[in-house]
Amino acid sequence: MFRPIEPDEPRIYLLPNLMTAGNLACGFFAVLTIFKGIFLATTPEGYVFESARPYYERAILLIFASCIFDLLDGRLARFGGQESPFGREFDSLADVISFGMAPSILMAKAVLFPLDEDLKHLNLEGVGWGLACIYVLCGAIRLARFNCLAALPQRKSTSTDFRGLPIPMAAGFISSLTYLVIYFNDTDRNLGAWKYVLAGAMLGLSVLMVSNVRYPSFKKVGWRTRGTPLVIVGAALVLIITVRFHYVMPAVLFSAYLLYGLVVRPFLPPKVQREIEAETISDGGDGEGEDDEDQNGSSG
């Protein structure tokens, strides 16, 4: 016999939280894959980057999969009217692993300052871990602020914008950039000067996550959002190009979102901004869940 549900038992909806579980699982296996790559790349002769390359690429693909699961859980929750505080908290915990720990470990230990004999005399290993710690700390603060805002009473005039760069986008950007650099890297030891570019990008993303820069959530783009034949053809074309040039296009797409909120959106006329973000072409909106922050999924 099943015990009756307690009056104060949180509501746990199956499909949205199943997507969140998929997000967490991908993040967990991404971390394990990174450590396996580090283990295989560390030899008595030094750090051999080429040995770990397939594992790092696999880990990045798992992080991308986490992004997809994170997108789906919020959409399913809003579509079915199944937003819940449990889903919001579960999603944030999963995001710390998938978009905080996994990218930071990849950058700090595997890419930025690996166990390379050429780098040992510079004592830079602590710098890599320091950058990783800052990134995870800023991501956790971002998620905590997200949950606090989501718990506040919502008004009809409340914006749906994200405050600060969402952590899935930060993880997607740094992972896609790493994916691109690994693809074009022709050395078998490390990424050379590119490691410092990636280190700067990681620090910049950390600052953006805790900033007040507004980023669109695109929450009003749903099943009832109207489109045009041109938009459909354009979206299909982008999808085909992404599949064909899968090493390049993720970096392009995540960079486009990053730059849109940072340098393009503040200067757009309100009407153009609404049209881009589908705020005026939604047929009645998505109903519930149009508050400042999602109740389940697509968190910070």
The single residue listed with the structure tokens 């299909």 is 236
Which residues are within 8 A (CB) of 218 and not within 5 positions of it... i.e. 6 or more apart?
277, 278
Q: Are 77 and 295 in contact (CB under 8 A)?
A: yes
Structure tokens at 249: 């296009």
Q: Which residues of 46-85 are buried (b: 16+ CB within 10 A; e: fewer)?
A: bbbbebbbebbbebbbbbbbbbebbbbbbbbbbbeebbbe
Q: Are 190 and 47 in contact (CB under 8 A)?
A: yes
Looking at residue 297, its pLDDT comes to 53
Residue type, 284: G
Count of C-beta atoms within a 10 Å radius of residue 133: 13
Nearest-5° Cα angle at 104, 206 to 203: 25
Q: Are 131 and 202 in contact (CB under 8 A)?
A: yes
- Per-residue pLDDT 10s for the chain (300 aa) are 445 556 667 778 888 899 999 999 999 999 999 999 888 887 776 667 778 888 999 999 999 999 999 988 888 877 767 678 888 899 999 999 999 999 999 888 777 766 544 555 455 567 778 889 999 999 999 999 988 888 777 776 667 788 899 999 999 999 998 888 888 776 555 566 777 888 889 999 999 999 999 898 876 666 666 667 887 888 899 999 998 998 899 999 999 999 998 988 888 888 888 777 765 443 433 333 333 444 455 666
Structure tokens at 253: 């797409």
Which residues are within 8 A (CB) of 105 and not within 5 positions of it... i.e. 6 or more apart?
31, 34, 35, 132
Cα separation, 226 vs 285, whole angstroms: 10
Cα separation, 71 vs 297, whole angstroms: 7
Looking at residue 241, its pLDDT comes to 94
Looking at residue 94, its pLDDT comes to 95
What are the distances in angstroms from CA 120 to CA 116, 161, 211?
A: 6, 44, 35
